[in-house]
């Protein structure tokens, strides 16, 4: 066992006036299974990059271990290649037999290494990277959100796999994954950094107790400060009034007051000393109070204004099928096509007041169903965040069966893709006819700092981009809220805010989301889809 020491580290991105880390010091053991927790933009991925030596910083980070990072970067050239041909570029010196052994633990055959990487599913790509990552010896691994875009089955496999491993830092907002896989937490609080033994739930329980204690201590100090201030004001007023009685008498006619005057002066001086002591005590109380609430999360209650519709049944699909044509890879002129079936004889309905979660493996047609609903409802817009991927296919989409949407339905949609977000928030609001001040107010409630408002959204973290889409969806008054993987990259505290929002206002929703904790808490019904 060796230690990774972080000593007085200060880091700030070039061009930014705000430090991400300032005089940070702590140490971690290299055999820990460490969960890294914090709000979006607090510097979780930045910290991993500091460990990798990618940025210059003040202070010192010392370690006797070799770091490796997930996910590996994938170039366009590598997407066309078989994994086996470029594994050395990911992990120099990695032994092929070890990678195959790790793949078996992840439930994959070695043949995935001989298929072009770009043709693998999200789950297969993630598992291949993890197999390469854990194929080394004595490495300390930095794992950054491994379950994003994975279906629940793949998440379970990854969770079971990581449970068997150690010597890593895991960034994840999946509470089930954190509870199962980690034995320590490193928390980037609002103003401080803390390390605790245990998993997410044990840390959260301790945090709730600590926050409650600090709240009560803060109230106690506030009461004491108020009481001391009132007492000090009374004593000061009495001293001033008493001191004024020494002035304005004739010493010849009232010679007997000379002795009283000295007595009054001594009494006033004593009272003024008491005032000074109370002032000093007040400062001590204020000093003890300072910092008590620095790290307490104050999640603001979000609001949503869903519309009512006169119909009870909003969506009905009967024996619905969806397929499209794709070019055969073997035909270079791309004139020959195969038909890909996405949905077949699918039956589904959504009624007013329901919160239906679509569940199934990646590729089973969840997103395609959503896009079909958007198309039939007239919700297919020109802007990038609601454009159907099906538009780009080489042949027309073929539908069978029937799908009907209640007339006049207004839909608020969150796309799982964020790559189209560019430019500043003002341009974003103008393009979508949103109230800019209200959008920014919601983003502040989701803990996006004001300094981010003037930045290009292309420079946002993935979590910050998701918050923009969530805020835009909440701002739009709609009958139905269709969210396609809305929580990817969203921090745990914001997830709790969104859960409270939905449970409070109970909008009608159609959701694709693989966070089981979120699904169990929010869904009124789960529809399982099979490829």
Give the pLDDT of residue 123: 86
Instruction: Identify whether the C-beta of residue 349 lies closer than 8 Å to the C-beta of residue 518.
Output: no
- What's the whole-model pTM score? 0.78
Is the preceding peptide bond at 58 cis, omega within 30 degrees of 0?
no
Instruction: Measure the CA–CA gap between 169 and 69, rounded to whole angstroms.
Output: 10
pLDDT band (50, 70, 90) for residue 391: very low
Per the structure block, which two tokens stand in for 146?
A: 């491994």
3-state class (DSSP) for residue 218: helix
pLDDT band (50, 70, 90) for residue 226: confident
Q: Are 1-65+138-190 and 313-528 in the same CATH fold?
A: yes
pLDDT band (50, 70, 90) for residue 392: very low
Domain topology for 313-528: Rossmann fold (3.40.50)
217 vs 145: which has the higher pLDDT? 145
Give the pLDDT of residue 319: 94
Q: Which residue from 305, 303, 302, 304 is spatially nearest to 445, judged by alpha carbons? A: 302
The answer on pLDDT for 205 being more than 50 is: yes
The answer on pLDDT for 328 being more than 70 is: no
Query: What region does 210 belong to: left with phi over 0, alpha with psi -120 to 50, or beta?
Result: alpha
User: DSSP states of 426-481 as a string?
Assistant: HHHHHHHT--HHHHHHHHHHTT--GGGTTS-GGGS-HHHHHHHHHHHHHHS--SEE
pLDDT band (50, 70, 90) for residue 262: low
Give the pLDDT of residue 29: 94
Give the pLDDT of residue 250: 55
Per the structure block, which two tokens stand in for 351?
A: 């009624």
Give the count of beta carbons closer than 10 Å to the beta carbon of residue 159.
Answer: 20
The answer on pLDDT for 416 being more than 70 is: yes
Q: 115-173 pLDDT, tens per residue?
A: 999 988 888 999 999 999 999 888 999 999 999 888 888 899 999 999 999 999 999 99
Q: At what angle do helices 425-432 and 436-445 cross, to 10 degrees?
A: 120
CA 351 to centroid of chain Cα atoms: 30
Give the pLDDT of residue 2: 80
Give the pLDDT of residue 248: 55
Over residues 238-248, mean pLDDT: 65
Which class does domain 1-65+138-190 fall in? alpha beta
pLDDT band (50, 70, 90) for residue 454: confident
498 vs 276: which has the higher pLDDT? 498
Give the count of beta carbons closer than 10 Å to the beta carbon of residue 427.
Answer: 13
The answer on pLDDT for 305 being more than 50 is: yes
Give the pLDDT of residue 254: 54
Instruction: Identify whether the C-beta of residue 357 lies closer than 8 Å to the C-beta of residue 512.
Output: yes
146-150, 282-286, 497-501: range with lowest mean pLDDT = 282-286
133-142, 272-281, 311-320, 396-405: range with lowest mean pLDDT = 272-281
Q: What is the mean pLDDT of the chain?
A: 85
The answer on pLDDT for 234 being more than 80 is: no
In degrees to the nearest 10, what's the CA dihedral of 162, 167, 169, 174?
A: 20
pLDDT band (50, 70, 90) for residue 249: low
Instruction: Identify whether the C-beta of residue 509 lies closer than 8 Å to the C-beta of residue 483.
Output: yes
pLDDT band (50, 70, 90) for residue 396: low
Domain ranges for the chain, please list them.
1-65+138-190, 76-131, 208-289, 313-528
């Amino acid at each position: 066992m060796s230690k990774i020491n972080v000593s007085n580290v200060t880091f700030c991105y070039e061009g930014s006036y705000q430090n991400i880390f300032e005089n940070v010091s702590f140490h971690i053991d290299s055999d820990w299974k460490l969960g890294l927790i914090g709000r979006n933009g607090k510097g979780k991925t930045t910290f991993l990059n500091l460990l990798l030596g990618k940025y210059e910083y003040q202070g010192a980070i010392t370690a006797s271990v070799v770091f490796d990072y997930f996910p590996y970067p994938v170039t366009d050239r590598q997407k066309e290649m078989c994994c086996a041909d470029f594994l050395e570029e990911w992990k120099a010196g990695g032994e092929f037999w070890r990678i195959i052994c790790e793949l078996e633990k992840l439930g994959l055959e070695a043949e995935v290494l001989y298929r072009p990487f770009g043709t693998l599913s999200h789950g297969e790509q993630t598992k291949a990277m993890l197999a390469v990552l854990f194929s080394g010896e004595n490495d300390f691994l930095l794992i950054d959100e491994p379950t994003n875009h994975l279906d629940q089955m793949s998440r379970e496999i990854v969770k079971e796999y990581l449970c068997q491993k150690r010597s890593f830092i895991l960034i994840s907002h999946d509470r089930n994954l954190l509870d199962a896989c980690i034995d320590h937490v490193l928390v980037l609080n609002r103003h401080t950094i803390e390390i605790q033994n245990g998993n997410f739930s044990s840390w959260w329980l301790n945090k709730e107790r600590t926050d409650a204690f600090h709240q009560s201590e803060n109230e106690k100090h506030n009461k004491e400060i108020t009481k001391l201030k009132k007492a000090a004001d009374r004593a000061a007023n009495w001293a001033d009034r008493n001191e004024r009685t020494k002035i304005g008498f004739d010493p010849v006619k009232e010679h007997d007051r000379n002795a009283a005057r000295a007595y009054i002066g001594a009494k006033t001086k004593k009272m003024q000393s008491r005032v000074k002591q109370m002032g000093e005590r007040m400062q001590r109380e204020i000093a003890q109070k300072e910092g008590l609430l620095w790290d307490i999360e104050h999640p603001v209650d979000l609001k949503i204004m869903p519309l009512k519709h006169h119909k009870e049944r909003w969506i009905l699909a009967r024996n619905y099928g969806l397929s499209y044509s794709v070019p055969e890879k073997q035909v270079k002129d791309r004139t020959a096509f195969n038909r890909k079936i996405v949905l077949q004889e699918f039956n589904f309905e959504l009624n007013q007041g329901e919160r239906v979660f679509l569940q199934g493996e990646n590729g089973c047609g969840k997103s395609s169903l959503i896009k079909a609903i958007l198309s039939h409802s007239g919700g297919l817009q020109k802007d990038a965040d609601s454009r159907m991927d099906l538009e780009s296919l080489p042949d027309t989409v073929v539908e069978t069966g029937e799908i009907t949407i209640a007339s006049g339905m207004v839909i608020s949609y969150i796309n799982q893709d964020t790559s189209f977000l560019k430019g500043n928030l003002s341009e974003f609001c103008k393009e979508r006819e949103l109230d800019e001040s209200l959008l920014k107010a919601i983003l502040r409630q989701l803990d996006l700092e004001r300094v981010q408002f003037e930045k290009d959204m292309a420079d946002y973290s993935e979590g910050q981009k998701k918050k923009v889409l969530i805020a835009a969806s909440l701002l739009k008054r709609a009958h139905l809220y269709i969210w396609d993987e809305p929580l990817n990259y969203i921090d745990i505290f914001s997830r709790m805010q969104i859960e409270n929002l939905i449970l409070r206002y109970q909008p009608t929703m159609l959701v694709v989301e693989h966070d089981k904790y979120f699904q169990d808490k929010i869904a009124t019904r789960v529809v399982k889809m099979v490829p």
